[in-house]
Amino acid sequence: MSLPHIAIIDWRTAPQGDADSAIEKSVIGGAARLTRHLCDTDADLDDEAAAAQAIIIWHNMPLTAAGIARLKNCRAIIRNGVGFDSVDIAAARERGIAVCNVPDYGTEEVADHAIALAMALCRQILPLDAEAKTLGWNIRVTPKLRRLSTLTFGIIGLGRIGTATALRAKALGFRVVFHDPYLPNGADKAVGISRVRTLEELLAQTDVLSVHCPLNAETRHLIGSRELSLLKPGAFVVNTARGAIIEKTAILAALREGRLAGAGLDVIEDEPLRSLEEAATPNLIATCHAAFCSVESKIEMRGTSARIALAAVTGQKLENVVNGIA
């Protein structure tokens, strides 16, 4: 009897895995045949990948309904990461294919990154660095330097990463407030922070806004021009979740017009930045969708994905299913 087949689909433009798939092989061993395929889109899927019993797919490789229709034997699609908006989960559900993610692997890293961006903004680290390197000491950004204990840190989405960020912000002395309509009563008491029931109420009292919700039909452009105008004067915005939660044209305009004091964006709509004009937006810190990334987190993520894929091809119970297929 031939071994079951697991295919890893990586992004040809900037592969995230290694040619040997060493971490995945250390988990799967000889229990399944493992292949690696480089694609730009799912139109590039070859027949071998399309015939696999399980697929592990990296975040920059979209898997649309058309691509899913080509999967002949697939029991599970495992998204290597937290977000799964790059996979058409409804199309997978229609074909009886489970879609799984890895929701916990980068919790510490993303929370740390969000706090790092917030601290860089509140303490104006990059402008001060640039000024010091011109051999000047005028501290031109003094009006933007803030005492953390006087600021309200507003969080959208109190899941794993939102909670980890809240605890870090609380430890630094921020007053922490969150909005998450899907959490049961008492979630605020469990972590000792304040809860508000509407997004508008959150924005009105926020000095540092940090986004930690998933991207879906409800949250796409959740933050646009209107919402940014509700923030306190001189507010900062941090996004380590998904770019399209914040409307790109709105936040870049708010920065150019001085309605925001600054923004730290690890993710941005239609990423990466598309022009020198966008890159030159004042008071913008941009990082490379890298908040999740560390040596340790990538090992954990890939190991978990491999474990789920192995369960899929050996008929075991699946972890982290996001589209309701058992």
Q: What residues act catalytically? A: 242, 271, 289
Cα atoms in the Cβ-side hemisphere of radius 13 Å centred on 13? 8
Question: What is the C-alpha to C-alpha distance for residues 55 and 116, in angstroms, rounded to an integer?
Answer: 34
Q: Are 248 and 273 in contact (CB under 8 A)?
A: no
Q: What is the largest CA-CA distance in the chain?
A: 74
Closest CA to 271 of 37, 17, 86, 67: 86
Phi, psi for 240 (deg, rounded to 5): -120, 15
Question: What is the C-alpha to C-alpha distance for residues 71 and 54, in angstroms, rounded to an integer?
Answer: 9
Q: Which two tokens stand for residue 42?
A: 């799912």
Q: Are 164 and 212 in contact (CB under 8 A)?
A: no
Q: In the sheet where 284-286 sits, what is the strand order?
A: 194-195, 175-179, 152-156, 208-211, 236-239, 262-265, 284-286
CA 43, distance to chain mean position in Å, is 25
Element at 250 (helix H, strand E): helix 248-256
CA distances, 130 to each of 4, 124, 134, 221, 260 (Å)? 55, 10, 7, 33, 20
Q: Are 187 and 163 in contact (CB under 8 A)?
A: no
AA letter at 292: F
Q: In the sheet where 33-39 sits, what is the strand order?
A: 33-39, 5-11, 54-57, 76-79, 98-100
